[in-house]
Each structure stands twice: as C-alpha cells, then as structure tokens.
Amino acid sequence: MATFVDISTEEEQIEALVQYVDGLKKKKNPDQQSNLESECESLLKEGKWDVIISKLLGERDAIFSDTNDKEIEASMNVISAFIKKSTPKVAASLVQQVKEAVVSNVADRPILRLRILTNIYHAFDRSSPSRYDLFVALTNFASESGNAELVIPKFKQIDQWLVDWGSNIEQSRKLYRLAHKILTSSHRSAQAHELITKYLQTFNPDIKEGKNVGDEVIDAAAVAAREAISSEEIYQCDHLFSLEAVKLLEKHPKHAALYQLLQIFAQEKLESFQAFKAKHPGFIQSADLAEESCLRKIRLLSLASLGAENSEVPYALIAQTLQISEDDVESWIIEAVSAKLIEAKLNQLKRVANVSFCVQRVFGPAQWKQLSAKLNKWKISVHHILETVQQTKNIGKSPVHQSQPSLTAA
C-alpha cells in the first residue's frame, strides 16, 4: 500500500503512484498479467509524465477498487498536482480524463468522489479555465448522486466565476441551464427563476440583431413565464418583458396565450384573469398550471395593486376586487402581509385597510412620477420640521427667556 507523503522529488512521486496503481490492478485481477509498471518505466525515462498520468487514469476501476478512501484521495491529489503543471492543452485533455475517471460510478462512494473533484478543482488557480469544466462535472455528479445540496450554495458565485474563468457565452448558457435544472428539482423556484432569466438575457443581442434562436430558447422563455405565474416566491414579473426571447412568445402560435396570461400576472387584477379563463377554457391545465394556486396569487396581486392606488382601501372595494365576502377581507390582508406584498393596519371600525407600503408590480414612468411626488411631499414635510426646530431654538435664545437678576437685598 502506497502512502503519498514526504516524497522529495516529482519522479519519486510518479514512481510511487505507478506502483500503487499497478498493485491495485494485480490485486483486482490476480489471474491477469499487468505490464503497467514496465510500460511506465520507459516513459518515465523519457520524461513523458503526461502519458503516464493518462495511462493511470485509464485504470480507474483499479484505483477505486482500493478500500482505503484516504489512499484513493491522496493518489488523485498527486495526479491533479501534475495536471496543474502541464501545458494548458495537455491539462485540458487530462482534466477531461480525470473527470471521466471520477464520475464513472455514481453509486460507488459518491461523497469521496465529490471530495476528489473538489480537491482537483481547488488545485487550479482561480482564473484557470479548467475550473469551469471541473465545476460543471462536480455539479452534474452532485445532482445525479443525490447530493445537490452540497453545490447549491455555490450558485450565488456563478456570475463572478464565469468572469474569472474567462468563459464564453456558450459556456455561460450551459452552466445557467444546469444550475436552473438543479434548483428547480430542489424546489427553489425564486433562485431557479433568477438563473433562467440570466440565461435568456444572453440572447438579447442576438435577437435584436435579427438572428434566429432555436426552439430550446423559446421553450426556456415559456418556462420562465410559467415560473413567474405559478411560483409562490415570485410576485413581480415585469422584468421578463425586457427579455427579447420572452417577447417572441407574444406572437408564437404555441405560447401566445401564455404571454397574455403573463401580462395579467404582471400588472392586472382578478377580473382580467377571469376573463382570460373564459376566453381560453382549459388553458390553465394544459399549461401545467394549478388553477387554485393561480387564483390565490392573482387575488394577492390584485390586493397589492389596490394598495398602490390608494393608501386607504375600504373593505368593500377589496371584497369586490377579489370577488370574496367582506368577512374574508381581513384574512386576505393578513396573507398579503405575510407574503410581504403590503404593510397595512386594519381599522375595523371604519372597515378600511391603511396601507403604508406595497410592492410595485410594475415600475414604469407612472411609478417614477408617483415616487417623485412622494419624495417631494416628504421633502416639504422635513423642511417644515426643520423650520419648527429652528424657531424653537430661537425662542430659547430670546432675552425674554433669559434668567432675571435677583432683587433680594444683600
């Protein structure tokens, strides 16, 4: 059994590695003659270390037949150290082989294999292009082995890493789609939606230039639209209308109705949703959307719109807009508050909801104008407060309020 520590030279490390793998190969197949050590001996004399590493990686079954996980991990660390020292072209080829060797068996000690991939990933410099291939392999393997939770926290750094690795547009798209798939499977709808949005953004220049995009992009745009409609974590979807791929849905024979529904969830109320259902019977179900879930969400969004239109909203108006009984109004307000769509206080005597904050479903020129008016009003209020404070200070300094000399005789 080899132990890969305290070896002084690279040549000795290679020799020990060859002996280790050759020994495992003989142990695994005692009836078969192994020429690995003799073949590598001549290559070692010629200094063809990359060829030796390639040969060793070809014996992946032998390497992973070792029952000692630490020995396997140590041997792969030695291999990754040699790969890092290779030329970029050779390193790219060997990284491909080491990936194939490690991910060849999802069922066999997946945590060990993930740890090995992680070690190899960190063996390369932060800006190394090899990190992209290794991270994709690591992510895929984690997902396939049921260990997606180990890589999901890393997705927050994808944007920066793509820059660090010097990744091209196709690589970026591939990684965004992979991460979206994993997050969707893990029921992280908001985070998944963010990544498919970034994926679709990469096509904006192409579509604006008149280039055709395939069905895959159109289908991804439809997925993003369905996510925005159905997710209980997403209540603002006007951002999708800045995506050229989503705009293509409007006149698409298959997805035009979905685009109309997306518009309703972006800026309209329950009445429009009900009209859509009447015009497109059965569409909600055919689009793989849950009608009850959609109904709940459009009611909450309608309530948010009411709060944006007026800070004091009568219960009767809420009941009418949401098509519910006035007795149920307060429970819907509480639900909207829980969803962080509004902040409101209930006045049960006046039967009104005083809305102090609401999420803007659409933020366009009208909303900028409304915000400007509120800021001006706030500016005037602050100015009046400052004037009052200054007047109070001046009154305090007035001679009338100065202490009078004592008239008591000495």
Residue 386 is encoded by which pair of tokens? 């400052």
Going across the sheet that includes 342-347, the strands are 312-314, 352-358, 342-347
Rounded to whole angstroms, how far apart are CA atoms 66 and 154? Answer: 31
Domain boundaries, the chain: 308-384
Q: Which CATH class is domain 308-384?
A: mainly alpha
What pLDDT sits at residue 1? 47
Alpha helices in 129-214 (DSSP H): 130-144, 158-164, 169-185, 189-201, 204-208
Question: Tens of pLDDT along 175-228?
Answer: 999 999 999 999 999 999 999 999 999 999 999 999 999 999 999 999 999 999
Q: What residues are paired with 343 via a beta bridge? A: 357
For the chain, the straight-line distance linking the first and the last C-alpha, in angstroms and rounded, comes to: 108
Contact 124, 130 (CB under 8 A): yes
**What is the percent of the chain with per-residue pLDDT over 70, rounded to a whole number?**
90
398: Cα within 13 Å, side-chain hemisphere: 9
Q: Which helix (H) or strand (E) holds 175?
A: helix 169-185
Residue 247 is encoded by which pair of tokens? 């705009």
What pLDDT sits at residue 37? 84
| Closest to 265 measured CA to CA, from 225, 318, 207 | 225
What pLDDT sits at residue 161? 97
User: Which residues lie below 8 Å from residue 139, measured CB to CB, with a gap of 6+?
Assistant: 151, 175, 178, 179, 182
Rounded to whole angstroms, how far apart are CA atoms 107 and 198? Answer: 33
**What is the percent of the chain with per-residue pLDDT over 90, rounded to a whole number?**
73
pTM of the full predicted structure?
0.82
Rounded to whole angstroms, how far apart are CA atoms 352 and 315? Answer: 5
Longest Cα–Cα distance of the chain, Å, equals 126
Question: Tens of pLDDT along 231-245?
Answer: 999 999 999 999 999
